[in-house]
Structure 1
Amino acid sequence: MTNVMEQLNQEQLAEVKRQMEIYTQGVQEIIPTEELEAKVAKSILENRPLKIKLGLDPSAPDVHLGHTVVLNKMRQFQENGHIIQLLIGDFTGKIGDPTGKSVARKPLTDEEVKHNAKTYFEQFGKVMDMDKVELHYNSEWLSKLNFEDVIQLAGKITVARLMERDDFEERIALGKPISLHEFFYPLMQGYDSVELECDIELGGTDQHFNILMGRHFQEKFGKEKQVAMLMPLLEGLDGVEKMSKSKNNYIGIDEAPQEMFGKAMSIPDELMNKYFELITDFTPEQNESIKRDLESGKLHPRDAKMLLGKTIVRMYHDKEAAEKAEQHFVSVFREGSVPDEIPVAEWKGNKESSVVDLLVELQLLSSKSEARRMIENKGVKINGEKVEDTRAEVSLTDGLIVQVGKRKFKKIKM
């Protein structure tokens, strides 16, 4: 590294420092940091972009802000002229990544893989310029390996090294089975890095073992080793569990502006700095300023959340939508008024309905049991009046306004 740095002029050294400040922001672990700096310096010296890999098994196509932690870091590299290698694990996806699983994951079919990959591409385009992304499928090379190739690949790693995975150790300790094919998942992910000759691989901290396999196999095949950049996992709106759709503590990047903004206002105060750092497009200087102002009391947490909500909506919709979402929140939640624009639902059914059936029919709640719970928790209003009886009936009239919680409204059109 020293030799490379010594060859740079002052302007180039300043550029290395600038890029490193951006890339290291919010990262949980870099393995190793000095190699990352050396790679950045070499790319500047030789005017050669770095290859940045992100591997995905397309098994969950609904992208939320938790996923964008890694995507935003990829975008930062892309904005500095580096090459993004988006690897869709259509071959490994049929096996399933055992990471964090107490049992083997169900393999995906070809149709499921293609559908999920297409959805990822569409949603990733909200974060990165997909026209400048290299798209790869690891079936391009993994499906061509014969049995002799697989044996040789397996010979480049020990069973003891594979058993270092926490999930494998835990399953053995609990007497739960591990199929032999699961051992091949990290081997294949490591071989992907050999084929792509990537300089850096990004992933969440839960991908620590798999990403280090890339370094291991690149070295075994005589390639320059990639740097592992591990991003922290983002807690969801509950402030405890990792953001997940199954936990219902997420903000989806395809959600409506008002929904996004409203959810952002429920983020716990103690997570504000982390959210600004990991999921916005703010510079390190801007994030540091927000952090100082929050700590000094100059910036109230509520106002910080308003800024965060507007930023999220602006990033995934536009500036105008962000302004409207803020105005809607202030009008409805601070002033307690009904919003000017309410989604209209045409009603063609009976003019009398139970409130429970009405809530489900209007898709304000997903089930009758959920509707009853919401009524019991005093979270349902008809024309501004709270509904307190789960057996209540309502006469439907043109212009009737149904409200669930603080953010969901529907206006009946007969």
Structure 2
Amino acid sequence: MIQEALQEIQRGTAEIIDNERIEKLLKGYLEEGKTYTVKAGFDPTAPDLHLGHTVLLHKLATFQKFGAKVQFLIGDFTAQIGDPTGKSETRKKLLPADIAKNAESYKEQVFKILDPEKTEVVFNSEWINPLGASGMLELTTTFNVARMLERDDFEKRYKGGVSISISEFIYPLLQGYDSVHLKSDIEIGGTDQKFNLLMGRHLQRSYEIGKEQAVLMMPILEGLDGVQKMSKSLGNYIGVEDEPNDMFGKILSISDALMWRYYELLSDKTLKEIEAIKAGVEDGSLHPKKVKEDLAQEITARFHSDEAAQAAKAEFDKVHAKSQIPTDLEEFAFEGPIWIAKVLHECKMEPSTSQARRDIKQGAVKIDQQKVSDEQLQLESGEYVLQVGKRKFARVKVR
């Protein structure tokens, strides 16, 4: 049983530090019913989560199956500094009101995956604010500047003459101090967080709390393009709160190769089940499209419902397989005549009029299911169904 639990916990991981400690904690639970704590921190820098964030949430849920109490840490204090990981310049400071709003949004979203009875939601302002000046100074004595500059992104910025604020040096210390205060047994994070995660182990030794947390790192999930990490700013993300039809369609748009990575990191199917599905695709008994549809339905149902996932599949089949128009279209009204590129931008189907013109040139824009070729087209009075690509539709009335 311990080996089966370890296999599930190690599934999809990029690196584990102190695997022996994790095995010991699992053994304590399975043989004696002892619980343990697993921490993961999220800075509420945006109001919504995407599937890239849920890679960690799924791993937390796996730990909950095997006796863990999850410490879901919302970094309301550290968000004011901004995690410098991977950043080429100092981040802009967030306003406290935005942080509070985003934090509440996170709390609503995470319990679509985590068991609330086995989760403690904590805010690091609760123990960092009381540290005060003397406590903060004591914290800074636990690490030196030379070692801080060994961190890859700091080293690059220092050598490149790019500014690094003192607060950015303090960020990893504060993340590590979270582990001191919470006395975490395990901390998980992305591979880009290795320096910060190891800081927790270092500070637990420095503050002599009687334990050193194990560290488990998950790979960064690629976005819809299959190349860059999933990111809202890159537009290659699938949001936890995306509408069912959008979520279903986006998942079906990923490549067949990327599909297996999503299965491993996001699906509730066991590794044996996934291997059986892979074998079916390889021997031709299963079609990759059907396998991808199953994944899209599973994920859409998780964040919405089985009924919503089934409806999304039916709508997708209707629109894409049969080239029909969706049932529910958002409607917009304009005074005419009006330039087609401006309409597409105003309807939020295109990020700019320039992009609209490029898509028209590439044949990606349709009016009433007919391709548009004139990028200077003026829409006269009437009612139109506009389409960009395979998934974006709008009903437009021009007066």
Question: How far did 1:331 drift?
Answer: 2.5
1:294 aligns with 2:258: no
Distance 2:337 2:386 in 1: 14
1:227 aligns with 2:214: yes
Question: Which AA in structure 1 matches 2:360?
Answer: I
Aligned to 2:131, what secondary structure does the other structure show? coil
Cα distance per residue 1:290-331 (max 9 Å; x no partner): 233334444332222222221221111111221222222223
Partner of 1:278: 265
1:215 aligns with 2:201: yes
Distance 1:243 1:344 in 2: 27
| Residues 222 and 228 in structure 2, CA contact (< 8 A), matched pair in contact too | yes
Partner of 1:370: 355
| Residues 332 and 396 in structure 2, CA contact (< 8 A), matched pair in contact too | yes
Partner of 1:402: 386
Cα distance per residue 1:22-81 (max 9 Å; x no partner): 211111111121211111112333322221111122112321111111111112222444
Aligned to 1:264, what secondary structure does the other structure show? helix
Aligned to 1:252, what secondary structure does the other structure show? coil
Q: 1:214 to 1:373 in 2, by over 3 A?
A: same
Cα distance per residue 1:87-120 (max 9 Å; x no partner): 1212222222211112222222322221221121
Question: Which AA in structure 2 matches 1:45?
Answer: E
Distance 1:407 1:350 in 2: 26
Partner of 1:343: 329
1:255 aligns with 2:242: yes
1:23 aligns with 2:9: yes
Deviates more, 1:310-319 or 1:329-338: 329-338
Question: How far did 1:146 drift?
Answer: 3.5
Q: 1:104 to 1:363 in 2, by over 3 A?
A: closer
* Structure 2 unmatched ranges of 5 or more: none
1:133 aligns with 2:116: no
| Residues 29 and 67 in structure 2, CA contact (< 8 A), matched pair in contact too | no
1:382 aligns with 2:342: no
Distance 2:319 2:342 in 1: 25
Partner of 2:44: 58
Partner of 1:392: 377
Q: 1:218 to 1:381 in 2, by over 3 A?
A: same
Instruction: Choose from 167, 171, 175 the match for 1:181.
Output: 167
Distance 1:92 1:351 in 2: 50
* Structure 1 unmatched ranges of 5 or more: 1-13
| Residues 58 and 113 in structure 2, CA contact (< 8 A), matched pair in contact too | yes
Aligned to 1:402, what secondary structure does the other structure show? strand
Partner of 2:155: 169
Give % identity.
44
Question: How far did 1:189 drift?
Answer: 1.0
TM-score, scaled to structure 1 = 0.89
1:152 aligns with 2:134: no
- Aligned residues, how many? 397
Cα distance per residue 1:263-310 (max 9 Å; x no partner): 112212221211101112222222222233334444332222222221
